Chain A
Amino acid sequence: MNSMIYKNKKPLLVFLIPAFAFLIVFLYYPFFQNVVNTFLKIGGLGRAPEGLNTPWYENYQRLFTDPYMHTALKNTLLLTLCTIVFQVGIALILALLVDTIRVGTQFFRTVYFFPIVISATALGLMFNLIFLYKGGMVNQLLLSLGKLPYEVKPSGKVLVEWLDWKDQAHFLFTMFMPVMWQYVGFYFVILVTGLNNISPDLFEAAALDGADGWKRTRYITLPLLRNVLCTCLVLAITGALKVFDLPWVMFGAGMPENQGWLTGTYMYDQTFNRMNVDYGSTIAVLIVVLGVVLSNAANRIFRPSEDL
């Protein structure tokens, strides 16, 4: 699809220079600094490096031996998988469903997006109240359904064994559910926009040929949506790798018992709480490398043409 129009490459500069100027100054150069920092010894955010690490690749060695890093990676990869399956999956189902109805489309589009509009600070606070140990929304519900054991003391005081939603048995659900819920609307909007970019003529032609229902979805919609779906996939992977704010508000530093680390929260904790700037930078490099590898793999597998 290399048209005649685009044989003359001069206008290309005008198209690309503004974007890359911004990216180089405010993204690539700082990240290059970050990569350099991984080899240096830096004891505080504001402090100048105290020379090279010994050995200079010390931080990379540490990545492989640090047990919390392993936990963080394991959790994050699980989150990535869940994100792809549930987030993008639910968004796709909802988008396909919305595409079949005529009344209320705008309403659903508007409200599905609400969770993204609300800032993570506010959402974290809300979910903390929902999963609160004593008297949280879920626990109150369980108690009224008689699902929580309780004991009556001789003094008449009632002791309820509340369910700790943030303990080792439950934290994965409590951590992942809000993250996934929040961003379903995000992929939904992208997918719906993609669906709307598909020409109605195609469907009319298909209808004339007698294709309808799931057949139409299977043979027309999904293939045409493939590019957009692939974009969603890449966004889901990169998003999951650096997910930070909601888990941080709800779980802080690795709760429970250092089983709850994610790459994003571990990096933040190392950099800003432990002043381990160089190690934090190294985790950032790992996040980027993983993101590039995983999203390239996703692209290889799902992108239809050789075209990017």
Chain B
Amino acid sequence: MKKALALLLALIMALSLGAVAYADGVTLNVVTSYGGDDGNRGNFEAAVKAYEASTGNKVNDGSATSNEEWKAKVLTDFETGSEPDVLFFFTNADAEPFIKADKVVSIEEIRAEYPDYASNMRDSMLAVASDGKQYAVPSYGYWENMFVNKAVLDDCGIAVPGPDYTWDQFLADCETIKGNGYTPIACSLVEVPHYWFEFLVMNNGTVENHLDVPASVDDEAGAKWVAALEDFKTLYEAGYFPANTLTASDAETVEMFNQGEAAFLIDGSWKVGYFTENAADLNDFAISYVPAKGERKASEAIGGISMGYFITRKAWDDPAKREAAVEFVTQLTSDEVLSTFVTTEVTALINGAKPSGLNPLQQSAADANANITAIAGAVQDTITGEAKADLFGNIQNVVTGKMSAADAVAAAIALN
């Protein structure tokens, strides 16, 4: 018992000593989404090291994997006053709580003192908050499009779809693929239906009105959301999704696509890295186009810039940290650094990014992107987290007929 007590006292002393001996140079607390499995984690860490070396400042890097839980934690930090100095975060509705609370500094205010701040960016491509100001300096954007497994298509005698791919052709192809014993569409309806949701909505509307959020089930946007959910049901009833799509994880369905058991997968630019690392032969895969219905063209896709660097009010008001924070964002968004991040994604850089040494899949993505005629942001990013969770959670109820598409959309609208 005495030993334990002695140990305990020693611990407490160590803890309190540690608390005191911590005040050397400028240390920036930085939180980003470049943690976990992010493909650019290595690039980010290298850029941070370079910053530390060139300035002598220290970076306390609290990066994590971006998901709803992470977003909630970041918002909680602002609420409780424990926010970081620099934050790399979503620039859409998610950022509104701390923008409204005046917890971050606008680019305009920073430029009053540092006129060159973010001068390498096209201002027109920076996200505008609800108060009309711009806050975040973007790093790079994203695209969402259709990945195809060429080996599976070959085996079924189907050519890789081009930018004129139609919905009817797609349905016919799915039937052929299914008849050959493959799964046409790799998708976990229970976990990640949102990529398909975006394109099905756009298929029932246009790229221009894609971001319209319904105010009621009966308005134009409401009608296209309902039609999108009904398209889900059509595909489900035809048996084009995996047999266990209502219980499979996203990792499982992506892997079945990777293993050559499914033909089509809609996913984002971040998935290219997954195949680069895990595919047996990258030449088996290509980036194609999502089949189009109605007014939409298959060459129209989802994409944009959804994240950027914020400097918090807390850091700005701290004379020791202001300069360090501005320098950090400037270095992390320089042309040279961003060119290491960008491979085929959208960029706001005035001079554009100059990626080099693309692998076959990245090349395929670059080729497909060259044919893209228009992009729209993801409409799911503009609705509240609760509405989103409810809507996507109800897709399984709609396809199994437990709930009507209109009811599902109405429930989501009520939560938005």
Contact = CB atoms under 8 A, between A and B. Distances in A.
Contact flag (A, B; Cβ within 8 A): yes
Interface of A: 43-48, 128, 132-134, 153, 155, 157, 159, 161-162, 164, 166-167, 171, 252-258, 269, 272-276
B72 A133 contact: no
Given A45-B76, A253-B393, A273-B69, 15 more contacts: A43-B386, A45-B75, A46-B72, A46-B97, A133-B244, A162-B243, A164-B243, A164-B244, A166-B244, A167-B247, A256-B246, A256-B247, A257-B402, A274-B385, A275-B386
B97 to A, nearest CB: 6
Interface residues of B, number: 35
Contact of A257 (B75, B76, B249, B396): B396
Nearest to B155: A155
Nearest to A155: B180
Given A44-B72, A45-B72, A274 B79 contact: no
A128 B244 CA distance: 14
7 contacts: A45-B73, A166-B244, A257-B246, A258-B393, A258-B396, A272-B68, A273-B68
Scoring B75, B79, B247 by chain A CB atoms within 10 A of each residue's CB, the highest score goes to B247
Chain B binding site: helix, strand, loop or mixed by DSSP?
helix
Contacts of B384: 43, 275
B335 interface: no
A49 to B, nearest CB: 12
B229 to A, nearest CB: 16
B331 interface: no
Complex A-B, nearest 9 residue pairs according to Cβ-Cβ distance, in ascending order: A46-B79, A46-B76, A166-B247, A46-B75, A157-B181, A153-B181, A45-B72, A274-B389, A164-B244
Contacts of A171: 247
Interface string B263-278: 0000000000000000
Interface string B360-389: 000000000000000000000000111001
A47 B79 contact: yes
Contact of A274 (B252, B261, B390, B400): B390
Contacts of B223: none
Contact of B78 (A46, A255, A257): A46
Contacts of A257: 246, 396-397, 400, 402
Interface string B69-97: 10011011111100000000000000001
Nearest to B389: A274
A133 B180 contact: no
A99 B155 CA distance: 63
Contacts of B97: 44, 46-47
Nearest to B69: A272
B191 A252 contact: yes
B190 interface: yes
B256 interface: yes
Given A159-B181, A253-B393, A257-B396, A47 B75 contact: yes
A162 B247 CA distance: 13
B248 interface: yes
Contacts of B190: 252-253, 255-256
B36 to A, nearest CB: 14
Scoring A46, A133, A255 by chain B CB atoms within 10 A of each residue's CB, the highest score goes to A46
B402 to A, nearest CB: 7
Interface in B37-94: 68-69, 72-73, 75-80
A256 B249 CA distance: 11
Given A46-B72, A46-B78, A166-B244, A153 B180 contact: yes
A178 to B, nearest CB: 16
B252 A275 contact: no
Contacts of B386: 43, 274-276
Nearest to B72: A45
Interface in B213-256: 243-244, 246-249, 252, 256
A159 B243 CA distance: 12
Interface string B312-344: 000000000000000000000000000000000
Nearest to A156: B181
Nearest to B83: A46
